[in-house]
Amino acid sequence: MATLLATPPETPHHEDGLADEDTPFIFDAWYVVCLSDEIEAGKPVARRLLGINVVLYRTASGAVVAMRDRCPHRSFPLSASAIEGDDIVCGYHGIRYGPDGACKAVPTQKHAPKVMRVQTYAVRETAPMVWIWLGDPGRAATTALPPCEWATRAHGWALSAGSMTLHSNYVFLHENLLDLSHLSFLHKKTFGTPDYAAAPFSTDIGEDRIVVRRTVAPTRLPPLYADPLDIHGDAARIVTSTYHSPGLSVSAVVLQNLELPEGERTDHHIRTAQLLTPIDRDHVLYHFVIARDFVKDDAQTSETIHAGIKAAFVEDCFALENIARNRREDEAPFVERSITSDKAGVMLRRRLRSEALAERG
Ligand code: FES
Ligand SMILES: [Fe+2]
């Protein structure tokens, strides 16, 4: 006779060894904390990242300061406090802190205690992106930002940026970004085409990146690319998806007009910096910067492309939030199974898990 258990045994959602919502965060990495325009002079901004509440503000010179959003006195949020010059003055009892987190003045006493110090974090700004490092401070100085200089204003491509908060763990967004076979289905109403899923692709697993390349040719471009480029016949769409770090995945697209003779074809580039920042176990802050090198000076084209790509991201959001809901709510034993095209995503999830566990020692 079978033994009935009062509590069913814990069952994994997937094959062993893959990162999921129970995997610890990776702290030793650069993450985009907000967009440059979101931090205005004199106004502190609150963010929650990797389970930590952070406040950001600009000093008088415009430099960004990031510190714990919690006054060391009685935990009042510094994001609800006042910026005075380079300092932040707590809105509860008026204790003043400098941009290095040191206490500078306590209104009710002469002495500013040394122990009363707000934890600060390393920040770098490559507009329109503001990056933060929440891990080992010593490693921040020696770790370069993940590579996406083409997504900075200084590079000169046409840029647009946005952000969304997803009710999903960041691991699944990373996996989604490496798996573009879903374009033919989830994105069939936006920028997917029917030939996308079966197009040939290659996967390269490198030490510092995981790359999936997919060539869709000949194909027809979706209107958001076809119209500004005036490519309405046969075209090539070559997409490279690259995982660089827990905070950055890049989608790089090359578009070509195949109706032109080979020697006359131009490579048109459009790339998206997919900037992922875990908020907590069940939420991810998702910034994106879209950059292109064609029709660069036309604001209407920027708006149309931004709206088209964002509409696709909303479809991803729908998928990921409902996947997360299923994983949260459905309690009967269940194991996800992978297919051949999941190779890059599986490698990525193994890497995220092993990095997270290695950081914990
Ligand atoms: S809680 Fe900030 S000064 Fe008291
Ligand atoms: Fe997608």
CATH 2.102.10.10 intervals, the chain: 30-140
Three-state secondary structure call for residue 58: strand
Closest CA to 17 of 245, 338, 332: 338
Distance, CA of 282 to CA of 21 (rounded, Å): 7
Cβ–ligand 1 contact at 93 (below 6 Å)? yes
Cβ–ligand 1 contact at 226 (below 6 Å)? no
Distance, CA of 241 to CA of 204 (rounded, Å): 10
Measured in Å, residue 114 CA sits from the centre of ligand 1 at: 15
Cβ–ligand 1 contact at 252 (below 6 Å)? no
Measured in Å, residue 358 CA sits from the centre of ligand 2 at: 30
Domain at 150-360, CATH homologous superfamily: Naphthalene 1,2-dioxygenase Alpha Subunit; Chain A, domain 1 (3.90.380.10)
Q: Write out the two tokens for 127.
A: 């507009």
What is the number of the ligand closest to the CA of 186? 2
**Predicted ipTM of the assembly:** 0.97
In the numeric block, the tokens 């950059």 are attached to 291
Cβ–ligand 1 contact at 71 (below 6 Å)? yes
Measured in Å, residue 346 CA sits from the centre of ligand 2 at: 17
Cβ–ligand 1 contact at 107 (below 6 Å)? no
Strand-pairing partners, residue 166, are 284
**Which atom number of ligand 1 is nearest to the Cα of residue 95?**
3
Do the Cβ atoms of 215 and 244 come closer than 8 Å? no
Confidence of residue 231 (pLDDT cuts 50, 70, 90): very high
What is the number of the ligand closest to the CA of 76? 1
Measured in Å, residue 196 CA sits from the centre of ligand 2 at: 12
**Which atom number of ligand 1 is nearest to the Cα of residue 76?**
1
Q: Write out the two tokens for 231.
A: 């490519």
Measured in Å, residue 89 CA sits from the centre of ligand 1 at: 9
- Specify the residue with its C-alpha closest to ligand 1, atom 1: 74
pLDDT of 1 reads 35
pLDDT of 6 reads 40
Distance, CA of 229 to CA of 309 (rounded, Å): 16
SS3 content of the chain, % helix, strand, coil (to 5): 25, 35, 40
The rounded mean pLDDT for the chain is 94
Confidence of residue 359 (pLDDT cuts 50, 70, 90): very high
Given a cut of 70, is residue 15 above it in pLDDT? Answer: no
Do the Cβ atoms of 355 and 244 come closer than 8 Å? no
Measured in Å, residue 1 CA sits from the centre of ligand 2 at: 48
Span 155-209, pLDDT tens digits: 999 999 999 999 999 999 999 999 988 999 999 999 888 898 889 999 999 999 9
Which class is 30-140 in CATH? mainly beta
Confidence of residue 39 (pLDDT cuts 50, 70, 90): very high
For 200-250, give the DSSP string. Answer: -EEEEE-SS-EEEEEEEEEE---HHHHHHHT--SSEEEEEEEEEEETTEEE
Do the Cβ atoms of 219 and 236 come closer than 8 Å? yes
Distance, CA of 57 to CA of 34 (rounded, Å): 11
Confidence of residue 8 (pLDDT cuts 50, 70, 90): very low
Do the Cβ atoms of 63 and 83 come closer than 8 Å? no
Strand-pairing partners, residue 138, are none
CATH 3.90.380.10 intervals, the chain: 150-360
Give residues with Cβ within 8 angstroms of 174, minimum separation 6: 243, 246, 249, 276, 345, 348, 349, 352
pLDDT of 4 reads 38
